[in-house]
Amino acid sequence: MELTVFLNAFTGFFVIIDPIGTALIFHALLPEGDRRHRVVMAVKATLISATLLIVFGNFGEAILDSLGININALRISGGLLLFFTAFNLITREVKMAQSEEKKDVSVYPLSIPLLAGPGALTLSILLFSNTETAAQEVSVLAAVISIYTLTLVLMLLSAYVKRVIGKTGDEILRRFLGVILAALAIQFIYDGFVNMLAG
């Protein structure tokens, strides 16, 4: 495993998925009383999201090739999409009112769009397509597993996360991560244009 590749992938996924913010949203989506239902929803959403990212990351480029879409076009469009996500992180207000209704939120809105939305899926394809060795691919895979393990733990401990960080702390963190994601998005767009011109 290559540490640099792992850290790069982990940072990218951390910024997009935002495990802390996701935990706060998860806490608001489900009633606190039913502990078992909360655990089931958290585990189910995490497994669905991790599977989507790994499958999409490994086979997404082949699907794009069959459609005649160049990976550099994906880098540019993906970068624009990530930038839009970053813009929303910085500017959008998130309302989190506690729900008392017992419902299945594992697919929507937990998996899609929170844990495995367009930004995360695009980043997964870009990261897996940039791997040149088995060690690099394992590093990206380890980053995916690590980020979802962290997200699962924080969702299960969401009540404590809410007490510790609070709404103000989440807003500060979300906007800071948005700036980092915007820089990552511009880098993807830049790389896509450079590779297109070089090709």
Least Cα distance to 155 among 49, 7, 6, 9 occurs for 49
> Before 109, cis peptide (omega within 30)?
yes
Q: Are 26 and 158 in contact (CB under 8 A)?
A: yes
Res 98: pLDDT: 55
How far is 185 from 41, CA to CA, in rounded Å? 31
Chunked into runs of 10 residues, the chain (199 residues) has average pLDDT values of: 93 90 83 86 96 92 84 80 77 61 82 82 88 94 97 94 80 78 81 84
Res 83: pLDDT: 83
Tell me which residue has tokens 């990552």. 184
125 is written with which tokens?
């394809």
60 is written with which tokens?
């997404």
Res 3: pLDDT: 94
For 55-100, the pLDDT digits (tens) are 989 998 788 888 888 878 877 887 787 788 778 778 876 555 555 6
How far is 38 from 25, CA to CA, in rounded Å? 12
- The count of other CB atoms within 10 Å of the CB of residue 187 is 13
77 is written with which tokens?
């469009």
Res 45: pLDDT: 96
